Amino acid sequence: MSTLAAQVPLSPSELKLLQTLIYQECGMFFDERRSQFLQDRLQRRLKACQMDSFYSYYLLLTSAQGKKEMNALLENLTVNETSFFRIRPQLELFKKTVLEELLRKKQERRDWSLRVWSAGCSTGQEPYTLAILICDTLAYYYLRNPPTPKPLIPPPWKVEILASDINYSALLTAQQGIYTETQMEGVDYTLRLRYFDKLADKYVVKPALSNLVQFDFHNLKTEFLPRRNDVIFCRNVMIYFDSAEQKRLVEKFHQCLNTDGYLFVGHAESLFGLTDKFCMIHDNNATVYKQMEKAAR
Ligand SMILES: C[S@@+](CC[C@H](N)C(=O)[O-])C[C@H]1O[C@@H](n2cnc3c(N)ncnc32)[C@H](O)[C@@H]1O
């Protein structure tokens, strides 16, 4: 048996070094509970790089040539579980309360732009769900004045959905927008017909819908994140950060939202103890946080 196939010993100090490096790079924090997962993934990467010491691997990651390997490591560490229409009560709240209010207020100001960010979008099901909900909400405009050909977003509205992640492979899958029958479970028949094309046994997001979503790489750990958002969805991402990093991220989200913008976090996550710059709205089993300007607090 080759020595590379065997497990390479990982000392507590090497583990600490790598843990700290990963935390500094992307905010993911591996506590006791997730330490075995981290060690397994590190062993996997060490083997892929054909290296026989974790200290050499650490030096590779911190070298000028190490960027590619850092991305590969992060791809191995992220949890990309997601689905279409995940946690429906939150999406109902988004559609019925948040969107209604935003559209009404914007219409009064004759501001026809709407910008929504899915931060940590994984393989795309979340931003495409948001695109579908926005299109459906705006659809009633057609009743008054149907243009030809029918665009999904009626003029003069301009909708941008930004979808970002740290995992390049997930982003590529998201951009391709091709999903299996199992992945389509949450999407009902009418929505499938309207927003997807059938290609053999798969479903492909129609160009009219995918054109509304712009995929990009953004590491939520970095200082400069996309601004001027009306709504941010960052669900099931902060759960992997420690509370210091969660606080920093929520502060950045506050900066990245327009006044009175909304933040959705995962339904098992909360802003409790992290900030006093948002007010919580809870309705029908779902929660959203509304950004408060300093003056209003
Ligand atoms: C569990 S998925 C959640 C997907 C989707 N938001 C949902 O709730 O269905 C978490 C995503 O967060 C991404 N992620 C983790 N750390 C990140 C970081 N520092 N910056 C950007 N994305 C990150 C992962 O790559 C992964 O795709």
Per-residue model confidence (pLDDT) at position 153? 84
DSSP 239: G
Cβ pair 236, 81 in contact under 8 A:
yes
Going by alpha carbons, the residue nearest to atom 27 of ligand 1 is 122
Residue 69, judged by CB atoms within 10 A of its CB (0-12, 13-18, 19+), counts as middle
Pocket of ligand 1 (CB under 6 A): 26-28, 78-82, 86, 120, 122, 126, 165-167, 170, 218-221, 235-237, 240, 266
Coil, strand or helix at 230: strand
* Paired residues of 159 in beta bridges: 114
Find the helix or strand (DSSP H, E) in which 154 lies.
Answer: none
pLDDT tens profile 246-265: 999 999 999 999 999 999 99
Using the structure block, give the residue that is written with the tokens 């993911």: 28
Please give the share of the chain, as a percent, with pLDDT higher than 90: 84
Going by alpha carbons, the residue nearest to atom 3 of ligand 1 is 236
Sheet with 178-179, side-by-side order of all strands: 178-179, 202-205, 196-199
Coil, strand or helix at 170: helix
Per-residue model confidence (pLDDT) at position 296? 47
Per-residue model confidence (pLDDT) at position 5? 59
pLDDT tens profile 140-157: 644 544 556 667 888 789
138 alpha carbon – ligand 1 mean position (Å): 28
Coil, strand or helix at 278: strand
Residue 1 banded pLDDT, cuts 50, 70, 90: very low
User: Which residue did the predictor score with more confidence, 294 or 134?
Assistant: 134
Which residues, 6 or more positions from 5, have their beta carbon under 8 angstroms from its beta carbon?
47
pLDDT tens profile 190-233: 999 999 999 999 999 999 999 999 999 999 999 999 999 999 99
| Mutation to probe ligand 1, out of 117, 166, 168 (largest number of atoms < 8 A from CB) | 166
pLDDT tens profile 268-280: 999 999 999 999 9
121 alpha carbon – ligand 1 mean position (Å): 6
| Phi, psi (rounded to 5 degrees) for 290 | -100, 130
Going by alpha carbons, the residue nearest to atom 7 of ligand 1 is 82
Average pLDDT of the residues of the chain: 93
Per-residue model confidence (pLDDT) at position 2? 42
Find the helix or strand (DSSP H, E) in which 173 lies.
Answer: helix 168-176
Residue 202, judged by CB atoms within 10 A of its CB (0-12, 13-18, 19+), counts as middle
Residue 56 banded pLDDT, cuts 50, 70, 90: very high
| Mutation to probe ligand 1, out of 165, 215, 240, 267 (largest number of atoms < 8 A from CB) | 165
Give the span between the Cα atoms of 37 and 23, in whole angstroms.
15
| Mutation to probe ligand 1, out of 122, 234, 263, 265 (largest number of atoms < 8 A from CB) | 122
119 alpha carbon – ligand 1 mean position (Å): 7
pTM of the model as a whole? 0.92
Residue 150, judged by CB atoms within 10 A of its CB (0-12, 13-18, 19+), counts as exposed
Per-residue model confidence (pLDDT) at position 156? 82
pLDDT tens profile 3-53: 445 799 999 999 999 999 999 999 999 999 999 999 999 999 999 999 999
